[in-house]
Amino acid sequence: MDYIFSLFLYFFIYSVLGWITEEIYCRLCEGQWTNRGFLYGPYCPIYGFGGILVVIFLEPFYSNPIVIFFLACLLTTTLEYITSYIMEKLFDAKWWDYSHLPFNLKGRVCLLNSVLFGILGLFITYIIHPNIQALISNVPNIYLPYVVFIIFVILVIDSICTLNTILNLKVKLSYLSEIKNKIQIKTNSSIQNSELIKQLEDLKLEFINKKDTLKNRLINAFPNMEFPKFNDTFDELRLAIHTYRIDKKNKYKYKNKEKSK
């Protein structure tokens, strides 16, 4: 049982380390800090599972770094592809897309990421994991179940909140698309049509102005996210949110400028 608890802690620690890695990578590439995790908290479960795969399956090849590198590439790339496929089927949404990068497979994985994951696998095997092992071994066995339980509860609550946000987002998109379709049909009554347009604009404003941290974070975290059934509607909303934020930022700058006069 202690081994299972240790594996769970490895999973959680690598999830946190993966989140930190994503943050630094986005900061270097995009020039800003962005929470790129699927869940609300500072962890990326896909990195947790990747870390566990590396720890369990690559240990027998410890003496051969070249084998470690290529197996890490294979394992993590397979994991990323399967995760992408499952998430697409579960949520009817595409979360990331590497189609613009060379040597990609259906936009789910690409050679660049595979190489980076292979290098990360070397770091995990020879540098990171020995230190994590030493850290966890210092935790008294009597406390392990309690630590694991607390982390597990946090992850479950986070997952429920995130899933609820995604489902609500899909419901909103479906409703907005339905109104758009009614308008495009061009109803005979111009009054009825104008009412539908007003209703659509009001819903958009409500969506944009509502302070839903989870919803906003997901849209920021996955800039290439797509909902195939509602792509046009979602693109409009994303553009409207972006425009709203720029306007708000400009107004804030203008107010500060006026105050400084």
Instruction: Note whether 219 and 238 are within 8 A (CB).
Output: yes
The verdict on 132 and 246 lying in the same domain is no
The whole-number pLDDT of residue 63 equals 93
Question: Where is the domain boundary, 84, 118, 146?
Answer: 146
pLDDT tens digits, residue range 66-76? Answer: 999 999 999 99
Q: Does 132 share its domain with 209?
A: no
Least confident range from 53-67, 111-125, 208-222: namely: 208-222
More confident residue, 219 or 113: 113
Output the pTM of the full model: 0.79
The number of distinct structural domains making up the chain is 2
Q: Are residues 22 and 137 in the same domain?
A: yes
Nearest to 94 by CA among 227, 250, 261, 230: 227
Q: Name the β-bridge partners of 258.
A: none
Residues 132 and 12 in one domain: yes
Question: Residue 147 pLDDT > 80, yes or no?
Answer: yes
Mean pLDDT across 3-31: 87
Give me the pLDDT at residue 172, please. Answer: 77
Pairing outcome for strands 104-105 and 109-110 = antiparallel
- For residue range 172-195, list pLDDT tens digits in order: 777 777 777 766 665 555 555 566
Three-state secondary-structure class, residue 186: coil
Q: Where are the alpha helices (DSSP H) in the chain?
A: 2-30, 45-57, 65-91, 111-123, 129-137, 144-184, 190-209, 213-221, 231-260
Query: Any idea what DSSP says for residue 185?
Result: T
The mean pLDDT of 242-253, rounded to a whole number, is 64
pLDDT > 90? residue 13 = yes
Confidence grade of residue 113 (pLDDT, cut at 50, 70, 90): very high
**152: its two tokens:** 């597990």
Q: Are residues 156 and 138 in the same domain?
A: no
Residue 201 structure tokens: 């604009």
Q: Are residues 78 and 140 in the same domain?
A: yes
- % of the chain exceeding 90 in pLDDT: 40
* Residue where a domain terminates, one of 95, 117, 146: 146
Residues 130 and 111 placed together within one structural domain of the fold: yes
Are 235 and 117 in the same domain? Answer: no
Q: Is the domain of 154 the same as that of 137?
A: no
Q: Are residues 9 and 138 in the same domain?
A: yes
pLDDT attached to residue 91: 82
Average pLDDT, the chain: 81
**Residue 70 is part of which domain span?**
2-146
User: Based on the domain organization, do 17 and 133 belong to the same domain?
Assistant: yes
**Dist CA 2 CA 142 (whole Å):** 10
Range picked from 69-73, 167-171, 246-250 for highest mean pLDDT: 69-73
Q: 10 Å Cβ neighbour count for 217?
A: 19
Give the chain's end-to-end CA distance (angstroms, integer): 67
Neighbour count for residue 10 (Cβ, 10 Å): 21
Look at residue 207 in the predicted model and tell me its pLDDT.
Answer: 64
